Structure 1
Amino acid sequence: MSTLYDDPAPAPLSTADYADLARAELPPDVWDWLDGGAERERTMAANRAALDRIALTPRVLADVSTCDTSTHLLGRSFRSPVAVAPMAYQRLFHPAGETAVARAAAVAGIPHIVSTLTSTPLEDLTSTGADTWFQLYWLRDRSSVLRLIRRAEEAGCGALVVTVDVPVMGRRLRDLEHAFALPPHVRAVLLDAHSDRAHRGTAGVSAVAEHTAETFSSSVTWDDLAWLIGQTRLPVLVKGVLHPDDALRAAETGAAGVIVSNHGGRQLDGAVSTAEALPAVAAHLTAHGATDCLVLADSGVRHGSDVLSLLALGASAVLIGRPVLWGLAAAGEQGCADVLGLLCTEFRHAMTLAGCPDLDAVSRLRVSTAPCPPSLGAHP
């Protein structure tokens, strides 16, 4: 596999440049699995369009000679208010897969969230020194859920992230067109090692979606969440929340935080964008005294200025998804590190220009909505 550093072309200047490099490296079906969304991909486009419409009013005559981007989440200190989102089967994009991403997150000093569908053993990832959180999909067998929780605890994970917006996998037309299936060397190593359903390609069918349907439960309720919180000593974040009442109920059930997310536009097509849902969620929690409940956000983030916008809208931290995998496909661990470094540098630069010496100042920025130029929203 070539890397971007073998090529004399100019160094990437934006995450979109890494997307171009990744697309050149990956087979078309793998690229579409990474790049695609559900059905007509309206929500995926809405995520970008909503972020592009955000207008911040900068402050002036503030001493921004030093901008402090550090933050505290779940009792731990991090260099920036960003984290690597949980993403499945990362060995699809580079042989080092999740290991490369974990090492890059460790270098960046930010949380690394590992998917239930990791293609690398969990213990290999916590041993990298990354501050690892474990993302949990609810399996049909509750004893298997409990087994994953115990494994995450024993491996040294710092939190559980329970994804609640996948009762079934969204209908992703690009995957259906390719009859997408995993290659033999990529497996969900935390699940049934003998299952090959995700590897059996069938015309007009996503093998990965079929594997999800036979493995995940679609009958999870608030009672199940309460049971899970009672089973672990780890803080639990609930990922995939868009409605303010759901956020409040998660907090009342004992969740340490919520992640406002529409799964990057890969689940319900037509769901509200994250940037539109976030302010109401944050305000509702505050209005009901749930100020200890962390609010994080993801979906559509491509620039450091997007991180600034989502923090100004009420998030405490922002998860980065596809751009990390673009870096992984382009140049392995170094590509991941470069993407994370670029986003953190862009964020610090945006803070400086907004007149914000620290994250408290970011939270006080005035936010409005500007018209979205027709050219925006079309880029990766």
Structure 2
Amino acid sequence: MAEAVLPTPDVPLGVAPAPAGLADLAEAARAVLPVEVWDFIDGGSGAETTLAANRRALDRVAVLPRVLRGVHAARTEARLLGATHAMPVAVAPMAYQRLVHSEGEPALAAAAGAAGVPYVASTLSSVPIEQIAAAGGAVWFQLYWLRDRGLVADLLDRAHAAGCAALAVTVDVPILGRRLRDVRNAFAIPPHVTAANLPAGRDDLAHAAAPGVSAVAAHTGEVFAPAVSWADLDWLRGRTALPLVVKGILDPRDAELAVAAGADAVVVSNHGGRQLDGAPASASALPGVVAAVAGRCEVLLDSGVRGGVDVLRGLALGAHGVLVGRPMLWALAAGGRAGAEAALALLADEFRDALTLAGCADPAAARELRTMTVE
């Protein structure tokens, strides 16, 4: 007869154990979300080759740990854009967070504030930037370039007035990537979730379901400017004294142009595999961008980060920090603000362990590590 398995003292009957890693949160989120919402946040563009490549590339980065360094417990604090944060991590901009939980963006922003890391608020947030900024912590505003230049100027003014600490402009969305899961699901944003930073009625197309159509793509096609140029970035640089982050860089030549335009940081990102399918993994493009900017601005890694070891990998490849996206939506979906706080605490523990095991006293030491590419 099989031996009975008794609950451990810290896991009472009927209570699910806490996640051992951030990846565990994916199934918890999938269990509570409608299929079409799960596909919207989980999916990529096209055949999702770039989406898959992001994870493969990070898994192929082997970090060479140092030994006999006298490190007992590493410090995780790091500076990003001139401010000290609890770890070299920011919560990536992600649209329509009330899709996954009624608390939405303020809950995730508050969790980031409690964890001591920046929260990047999307232009397409489902709560106005003023409410997000009031939730606490360092908030960066992410700007999508809109056809209406007056509306762009208004968003900048609102971000300044709300006390945002930085401005991150996304440059890899002239049009929305063809996200086949959304097309197959005829996905539309439900009426109770709106693009709250836009004037009333500007997101009507996002709610208009039609067979074989992504309503999100139809909406962004109407409101996003498709032909943004470096001259527009020059205009933006002239409109703000905030640190300027250029998100969506993969080619080192574009990184050099961003530095010339006055960028304080660039984010090496393929939009989580949601734009050009066939673009390289962000981790694969990172070393070339780091070499191109040659210390003239900060470099952040986005796309595919799933835990503390990935933060270490990003630093070892030359990044100053990373953006973490989908795992934070999973945590929000599964547990609201409390879930997000727990996820960020887990990430901090994972990162501290990774630093210590690599013989690094702090994130700066991690940037001196060497890596190997393994099959």
Give the TM-score range, shorter chain: over 0.9
Q: Aligned to 1:207, which of 193, 215, 234?
A: 215
Report the alpha carbon displacement of residue 66 of structure 1 after superposing the two structures with TM.
Answer: 3.1
The match for 1:92 is 99
Report the alpha carbon displacement of residue 92 of structure 1 after superposing the two structures with TM.
Answer: 0.2
The match for 2:309 is 305
Matches within 5 A, 1:278-317: 278-286=286-294, 291-317=295-321
Q: Counterpart of 2:342 in structure 1: which amino acid?
A: D
Segments of 4+ in structure 1 off by > 6 A?
none
Counterpart CA distance in 2 for 1:191 and 1:7 is 44
The match for 2:226 is 218
Matches within 5 A, 1:207-356: 207-286=215-294, 291-356=295-360
- Per the alignment, do residues 165 and 171 of structure 1 end up closer, same or farther by CA in structure 2, a change over 3 Å counting? same
Report the alpha carbon displacement of residue 7 of structure 1 after superposing the two structures with TM.
Answer: 5.1
Q: Provide the secondary structure at the position in 2 that maps to 1:15.
A: coil
1:181 aligns with 2:188: yes
Task: Name the count of aligned residue pairs.
Answer: 364
Counterpart CA distance in 1 for 2:122 and 2:96 is 8
Counterpart CA distance in 2 for 1:352 and 1:226 is 42
1:192 aligns with 2:199: yes
Q: Counterpart of 2:357 in structure 1: which amino acid?
A: L
Q: Counterpart of 1:83 in structure 2: which amino acid?
A: A
How far does the alpha carbon of each residue in 1:14-42 deviate from its partner, in whole angstroms, 9 at most, with x for none?
12211000000000000000100001000
Counterpart CA distance in 2 for 1:34 and 1:90 is 10
Counterpart CA distance in 2 for 1:70 and 1:9 is 31
Report the alpha carbon displacement of residue 284 of structure 1 after superposing the two structures with TM.
Answer: 1.3
How far does the alpha carbon of each residue in 1:310-339 deviate from its partner, in whole angstroms, 9 at most, with x for none?
111011010000000000000000111111
Counterpart CA distance in 2 for 1:330 and 1:265 is 23
Report the alpha carbon displacement of residue 57 of structure 1 after superposing the two structures with TM.
Answer: 0.7
Counterpart CA distance in 2 for 1:235 and 1:16 is 32
The match for 1:134 is 141
1:151 aligns with 2:158: yes
Q: Counterpart of 2:135 in structure 1: which amino acid?
A: T
Counterpart CA distance in 1 for 2:250 and 2:201 is 36
Counterpart CA distance in 2 for 1:107 and 1:341 is 10
Q: Provide the secondary structure at the position in 1 that maps to 2:168.
A: strand
Counterpart CA distance in 1 for 2:133 and 2:224 is 25
Q: Counterpart of 1:262 in structure 2: which amino acid?
A: N
1:18 aligns with 2:22: no
Q: In 1, are the aligned partners of 2:244 and 2:264 still within 8 Å (CA)? A: yes
Q: Aligned to 1:363, which of 348, 361, 367?
A: 367
The match for 1:59 is 66
**Structure 1: which 5+ runs fail to align?**
372-380
- Per the alignment, do residues 6 and 278 of structure 1 end up closer, same or farther by CA in structure 2, a change over 3 Å counting? farther
The match for 1:164 is 171
The match for 1:378 is none
Report the alpha carbon displacement of residue 292 of structure 1 after superposing the two structures with TM.
Answer: 3.4
Counterpart CA distance in 1 for 2:199 and 2:222 is 11
Report the alpha carbon displacement of residue 127 of structure 1 after superposing the two structures with TM.
Answer: 1.0
Aligned-pair RMSD on alpha carbons? Answer: 1.3
Report the alpha carbon displacement of residue 72 of structure 1 after superposing the two structures with TM.
Answer: 1.3
**Structure 2: which 5+ runs fail to align?**
1-11
- Per the alignment, do residues 253 and 7 of structure 1 end up closer, same or farther by CA in structure 2, a change over 3 Å counting? farther
Q: Percent identity?
A: 57
Matches within 5 A, 1:4-83: 8-83=15-90
Counterpart CA distance in 2 for 1:116 and 1:357 is 37
Report the alpha carbon displacement of residue 231 of structure 1 after superposing the two structures with TM.
Answer: 0.8
Q: Counterpart of 1:222 in structure 2: which amino acid?
A: W
